[in-house]
Structure 1
Amino acid sequence: MIRREAAETLVRFREPLIGAGVLALGLYWAFFTGGGLLHWIGYAVGLIGLALIVSGLQRVRFRRGDGGPGIVQVVEGRITYFGPLSGGVVDIEALKALTLVREAKPPHWRLEQLGQPPLLIPVNAEGAEALFDAFAHLPGIRTEYMLRELERGEADAVVIWRAVTVRDPAFRLH
């Protein structure tokens, strides 16, 4: 009944669409119920809907589609990548640096931890959208900066996040 392209677009924008529905419900309760407790709950529901729209649009910008090489799984703070030529496991707490390598085709995330070789994950690997939530747990990460760099088309590598323990070692005096 629905064309495949339209269904894929609806699935891609599912979080902002759900947020728009929650916002519409909140606005209806706030302005068209005639006051009372439901009126004030409508304001709260509307704010929740607005937050869902903003976070959903960030997720849409992060998704690069499926069909890339390999499969990504994020379970209990552990990122696992099963690729056709390589793979590996990284604990989110053990990450020391997150880099976007745009010169690779397709672009890759490079996850670095001490004592291990870096794990390279294509941005369009199956299940790579789960990395957004994993990266959001990194202390001090700038999500908007990450999304801007992901959208830029330049062919270089850019450090998105680095742990506080490995930041600016050249500026230490002792």
Structure 2
Amino acid sequence: MIRPTVRAFLSRWAEVGAALLALALGLWTASLGGLVLIPFGLALAAAAGGWALLALRRARFRGDPGAPGLVELDEARLRYLHPKLGGEIALHDLAELRLVSLRGRQVWHLQDLSGRALLIPLDAAGAADLFDAFAALPGLSSHDLVAALAGSAAPTGSTLPAVSLRQVTVWRRSGSGLRRV
């Protein structure tokens, strides 16, 4: 009954809407007054405000799955299931995270401490789960992830077979490349 475009829009922004409703509930509770309701309402509004900020960043990170493959995140192991380009990297072995724009398509370039690389398209199914996984890396914030996406929009309109490569290093582990064997 609901159009697919409307359903996709609602699913993308549902968490933001829920957080804003919780924020409104907290402000309404604080407006009732009283020794208990004012602090409770303000605490609820503050928590909901933080939740709304993270939900907004997640919604901007999320896109429609259009690339082949599936991203899985299980026990801090990141898997990209694809017949030719698939692979697996443990998050604690991750040495570098780059955002690469290649011929109009953006991909995450993950490199582990041994030098192996894994390419994951931004629009692969399940790629939205990478937001929380990457935000947990030491020294990388959710704001940095969103800024990297905003600052490196893929070029459009080019159908030439020439390679147009643009890379942005989003995160690098301090001391990466130095691993005892």
TM-score (structure 1 length as normaliser) = 0.88
Q: 1:162 to 1:104 in 2, by over 3 A?
A: farther
Q: CA deviation at 1:79?
A: 0.5
1:25 maps to what in 2? 25
Q: CA deviation at 1:44?
A: 0.4
After superposing the two structures, state which structure 1 stretch, 4-13 or 91-100, moved more.
Answer: 4-13
4+ residue runs of structure 1 moved beyond 6 angstroms? none
DSSP 3-state at the match of 1:42: helix
2:137 maps to what in 1? 138
Identity of aligned residues (%): 35
After superposing the two structures, state which structure 1 stretch, 103-112 or 67-76, moved more.
Answer: 103-112
Contact 2:26 2:44 in 1 (8 A): yes
1:58-137 matches, cutoff 5 A: 58-137=57-136
CA distance in 2, matches of 1:165, 1:143: 22
- Structure 1: any 5+ residue segments left out of the alignment? 170-174
1:11 maps to what in 2? 11
TM-score (structure 2 length as normaliser) = 0.85
Contact 1:69 1:84 in 2 (8 A): no
* 1:85 partner amino acid: K
Q: 1:55 to 1:17 in 2, by over 3 A?
A: same
CA distance in 1, matches of 2:134, 2:61: 11
2:170 maps to what in 1? 160
Aligned residues: 167
After superposing the two structures, state which structure 1 stretch, 18-27 or 103-112, moved more.
Answer: 103-112
Q: CA deviation at 1:84?
A: 3.2
Cα deviations by residue, 1:120-156 (Å, 9 ceiling, x for unpaired): 0000100000000110111011432322221232550
2:158 maps to what in 1? none
Q: CA deviation at 1:116?
A: 4.7
After superposing the two structures, state which structure 1 stretch, 142-151 or 40-49, moved more.
Answer: 142-151
Cα deviations by residue, 1:5-45 (Å, 9 ceiling, x for unpaired): 2221111011211110110110111002x313122111100
- Structure 2: any 5+ residue segments left out of the alignment? 155-164
